[in-house]
């Protein structure tokens, strides 16, 4: 099993406390009956689970259904910070795992909801991981509550409402990322707060109490006319047959009066909207909360922002702050805040420079084309996807050197493989997609690494399919038409990240957490550390492919989705995986990069026993023109490369092509020289090729490093700088000539469907 195979296997089978539970073999089966197929243009998917295949399952292999209440009416969400509430991974735990919303953390149990504030990091695994572990300060419940399970009653963009009911009593709590409040609706008995240590009461204001427990400060708010009764570590309030309460986490006891006005302004919904303006190269994201005044007239609330938000916000910050695994959180007041980010362009490919050896490029392309198996034995969604991506990257290179026959042969390979996958009764190896209407998801079979049983990694896998489709569409628009393969391609895309809130087939943005600013890989989040994201770069690859496909088919909704995902994740990735600002990792943590971000922290390890090269490289690959974000700060990119070299005590030997490509973003001449010395003997990473690596390195050696000081009025551009010389590149996805204007006044006329360089 390859290193990357071990990574995916371990992600798919690791429990909350240990790694390595189960390993399922790839599945083979016959096509589903025609009656089970849904036709979309020339393509189709099946609605019957293929014989012998498994859908979402617990860790024993038994099928699982979403844990939702009878009044739940929304598409089923997975891959979020709270997904262990809805996806029961472990038969003996119907309550879910630790939930890290930041600044608060939670865990459901029979008697209520544990609430804590993990503000102190600890180093574990010999200092490889830092974590802010959930430790409850109190349990919020109802007197006598003994709920047999936790269920999801509803959700919004970054909140969830958890239901704990026992037939007589019902507790519904709304919790969310960035919310320092817990909002509770109760029936069937008095509300009950049991502290885990004797609390110090420092404020009594009738229906409100201020306490400190375990060094953390809270305010308890019951309806007017009620009072809190105290007995040892238990506080109760009789809120009537159907009542409510809220609890606020205070930075300091002195902040009681700042939080009190919002105690009864219950957050009922949260919504992210984003607006991409090509003319100004600006992405504006607005985070809104909808509130209901349970008492009084207060509107809005207090919201704690992650660093990638508060450092880019146009909204005034208060002086309030909290600790979190991502660094300090700053607080805004009101019903919304806005961030603005510059969009630095997404290219479909780099130009090929004249100084490159075009004959060598042709020979290297032929080596891939004429291999005994261009797919390298791939049969499942992930490895087929990697092969699709590898071959797709060669198409524009062949075209750029005038190797039309090679280009068309590559396109034929891509089309045949894609058409097989995009039909439920394709002629090939029984590859197909299955729609699970219980979980509102599209699963590719043969599946791999938990993409079926755990709903892991859909954006990682499917991003390669979207790249292949966009590459075909670049040269054959009819192939992607509504009458042919377009509807199936966009259906695959929408499963991973759907921009359409009205599309009931899939949840909105399955694989992306809008408040966190990045995605989560695990479908069930069944870990004590919450959810995790390892390969941030494969999530970025999906984003780039979505933007390109949207532009090529004239779908601005998909284009803007890709731009939003790519721009936002780039801002989060450099901070939370690479500590670029220097304040994300806690003091005493000796590593300057993590392989994985967890809900409770970060880990300088990966999902397999890999080399240091793989730990760094898993957040770089696949290298495409959409990877230029890794070089937006050449000095930081150089520091990352040097960090690896220092750790190794030598230049990288594993995945050399990935690290040469990354090194070229800060020192392209050195990277090309290393390639030239070894190109005939090294083994490419499975998703890469010698032809693509050589073209990437030779182009950057001539163009220089990425220059983000200049923007353009199109989504698809890049600017490079080598000394005093700038090179401008733009892509025109339309059928008409396009004049691109750069912010320094330079203009570039780009023919239809072409790259242009100036």
Helix (H, G, I), strand (E, B) or coil at 83: helix
Task: Output the CA torsion sign for 186, 189, 190, 196.
Answer: negative
Count of Cβ atoms closer than 10 Å to residue 348 Cβ:
26
Is there a catalytic annotation at residue 534? yes
Q: Which two tokens stand for residue 403?
A: 């190797």
Q: Are 166 and 146 in contact (CB under 8 A)?
A: yes
Burial of 590 from C-beta contacts in 10 A (0-12 / 13-18 / 19+): exposed
Per the DSSP assignment, residues forming a β-bridge with 219 are: 210, 248
As a whole number of angstroms, the distance between CA 164 and CA 186 comes to 10
- Between the alpha carbon of residue 395 and those of residues 216, 398, 675, 728, the distances in Å are 58, 5, 21, 22
Choose among 438, 440, 441, 445: nearest CA to 423. Answer: 445
Rounded CA gap, 204 and 484, in Å?
A: 68
Token pair 């099946």 is at which residue? 46
Identify the CA nearest to 63 among candidates 455, 355, 378: 455
Angle between helices 404-421 and 458-475 (to 10 degrees): 130
Q: Is 92 exposed, middle or buried (0-12, 13-18, 19+ CB in 10 A)?
A: exposed
DSSP H helical ranges for 277-357: 307-310
Q: Is the C-alpha dihedral spanning 107, 112, 118, 122 positive or negative?
A: negative
DSSP 96-162: -S-EE-SS-EEEEETTEEEEE---S-EEETTTTEEE-----SEEEEETT---S-EEEEEE-SSEEEE
Q: Catalytic annotation on 357?
A: no
According to DSSP, the residues that pair with 209 across neighbouring strands are 204, 220
Q: Could you give the strand order of the β-sheet that contains 265-277, starting from the edge strand earlier in sequence? A: 265-277, 282-293, 336-342
Q: DSSP characters for 621-641?
A: PSPSGGGGGGGSSHHHHHHHH
* Burial group, residue 8, by CB count within 10 angstroms (0-12, 13-18, 19+): buried
- The DSSP result for 703-729, as a single string, is H-EE-TT--BSSSSEEEEEETTEEEEE
Residue 480's SS3 state is helix
What is the Cα 296 distance to its own chain's centre?
A: 39
**What is the 8-class DSSP label of residue 298?**
-
Spatial distance between the Cα atoms of 239 and 170, rounded to a whole number of angstroms: 13
- The DSSP 8-state label assigned to residue 262 in this structure reads G
In the residue annotation, 232 being an active-site residue is answered as: no
Q: Using an 8 Å Cβ cutoff, are 175 and 228 in contact?
A: no
* CA-CA-CA-CA dihedral for 598, 601, 602, 607, to nearest 10: -30
Sign, CA dihedral 544-549-551-554, equals negative
Return the CA Rg of the chain. 26
Q: Does the N-terminal peptide bond of residue 446 adopt cis geometry, omega within 30 degrees of 0?
A: yes
**Which of 457, 603, 657, 667 is the catalytic position?**
457
Strand, helix or coil for residue 469: helix
| Share in percent of the chain as helix, strand, coil (round to 5) | 30, 25, 45
User: Which of the residues 194, 534, 603, 657 is marked catalytic?
Assistant: 534
- Active-site residue among 538, 667, 702, 707? 538
So which residues are the catalytic ones? 457, 534, 538
């Amino acid at each position: 099993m390859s290193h990357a195979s071990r990574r995916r296997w371990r992600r798919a089978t690791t429990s909350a406390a240990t790694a390595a539970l189960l390993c399922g073999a790839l599945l083979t089966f016959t096509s589903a009956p025609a009656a089970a197929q849904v036709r979309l243009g020339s393509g189709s998917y099946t609605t019957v689970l293929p014989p012998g295949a498994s859908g979402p399952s617990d860790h024993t292999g038994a099928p699982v259904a979403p844990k939702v209440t009878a009044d739940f009416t929304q598409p089923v969400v997975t891959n979020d910070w709270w997904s262990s509430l809805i996806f029961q991974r472990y038969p003996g735990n119907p309550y879910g795992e630790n939930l890290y919303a930041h600044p608060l953390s939670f865990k459901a149990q029979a008697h209520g909801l544990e609430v804590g504030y993990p503000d102190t990091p600890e180093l574990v695994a010999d200092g490889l991981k830092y974590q802010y572990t959930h430790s409850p300060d109190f349990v919020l419940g109802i007197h006598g509550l003994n709920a047999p399970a936790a269920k999801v009653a509803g959700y919004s963009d970054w909140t969830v409402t958890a239901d704990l009911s026992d037939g007589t009593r019902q507790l519904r709590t709304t919790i969310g990322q960035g919310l320092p409040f817990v909002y509770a609706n109760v029936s069937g008995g008095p509300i009950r707060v049991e502290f885990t240590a004797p609390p110090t009461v420092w404020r009594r204001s009738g229906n409100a109490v201020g306490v400190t427990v375990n060094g953390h400060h809270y305010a308890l708010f019951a309806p007017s006319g009620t009072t809190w009764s105290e007995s040892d570590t238990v506080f109760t309030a009789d809120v009537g047959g159907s009542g409510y309460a809220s609890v606020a986490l205070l930075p300091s006891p002195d902040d009681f009066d700042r939080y009190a006005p919002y105690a009864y302004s219950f957050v009922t919904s949260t919504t992210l909207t984003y607006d991409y303006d090509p003319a100004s190269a600006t992405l504006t994201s607005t985070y809104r909360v909808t509130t209901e005044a349970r008492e009084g007239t207060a509107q809005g609330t207090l919201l704690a922002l992650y660093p990638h938000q508060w450092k880019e916000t146009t909204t005034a910050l208060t002086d309030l702050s909290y600790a979190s695994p991502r660094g300090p959180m700053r607080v805004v007041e009101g019903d919304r805040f806005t961030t603005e980010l510059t969009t630095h362009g997404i290219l479909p490919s780099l130009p090929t420079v004249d100084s490159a050896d075009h004959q060598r490029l042709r020979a290297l392309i032929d080596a891939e084309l004429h291999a005994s198996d261009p797919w390298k034995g791939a049969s499942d969604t992930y490895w087929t996807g990697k092969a699709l991506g590898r071959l797709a990257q060669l198409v524009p290179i062949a075209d750029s050197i005038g190797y039309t026959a090679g280009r068309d042969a590559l396109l034929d390979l891509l089309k045949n493989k894609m058409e097989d996958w995009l039909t439920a009764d394709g002629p090939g190896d029984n590859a197909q997609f299955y729609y699970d209407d219980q979980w509102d998801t599209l699963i590719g079979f043969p599946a791999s690494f938990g993409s079926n049983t755990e709903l892991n990694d859909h954006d990682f896998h499917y991003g390669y399919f979207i790249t292949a489709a966009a590459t075909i569409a670049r040269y054959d628009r009819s192939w992607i038409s509504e009458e042919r393969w377009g509807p199936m391609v966009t259906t695959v895309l929408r499963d991973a990240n759907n921009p359409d809130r009205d599309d009931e087939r899939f949840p909105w943005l399955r694989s992306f957490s809008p408040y966190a600013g990045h995605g989560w890989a695990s479908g069930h989040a069944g870990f004590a550390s919450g959810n995790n994201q390892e390969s941030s770069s494969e999530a970025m690859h999906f984003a780039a492919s979505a933007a390109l496909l949207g532009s090529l088919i004239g779908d601005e909704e998909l284009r803007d989705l890709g731009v939003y995902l790519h721009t936002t994740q780039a801002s989060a990735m450099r901070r939370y995986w690479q500590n670029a600002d220097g304040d994300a990792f806690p003091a005493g943590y000796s590593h300057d990069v993590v392989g994985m971000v967890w809900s409770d922290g970060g880990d300088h390890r990966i999902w397999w026993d890999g080399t240091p090269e793989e730990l760094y490289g898993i957040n770089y690959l696949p290298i495409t023109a959409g990877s230029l974000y890794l070089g937006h700060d050449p000095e930081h990119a150089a520091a990352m490369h040097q960090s690896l070299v220092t750790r190794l005590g030598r230049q990288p030997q594993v995945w050399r092509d990935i690290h040469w490509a990354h090194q070229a973003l800060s020192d392209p001449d050195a990277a090309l020289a290393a390639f030239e010395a070894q190109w005939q003997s090294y083994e490419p990473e499975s998703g890469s090729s010698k032809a693509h690596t050589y073209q990437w390195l030779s182009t950057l050696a001539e163009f220089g490093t990425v220059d983000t000081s200049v923007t353009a009025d199109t989504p698809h551009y890049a600017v490079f700088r080598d000394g005093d010389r700038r090179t401008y590149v733009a892509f025109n996805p339309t059928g008409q000539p396009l004049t691109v204007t750069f912010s320094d006044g330079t203009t570039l006329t780009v023919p239809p469907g072409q790259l242009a360089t100036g």
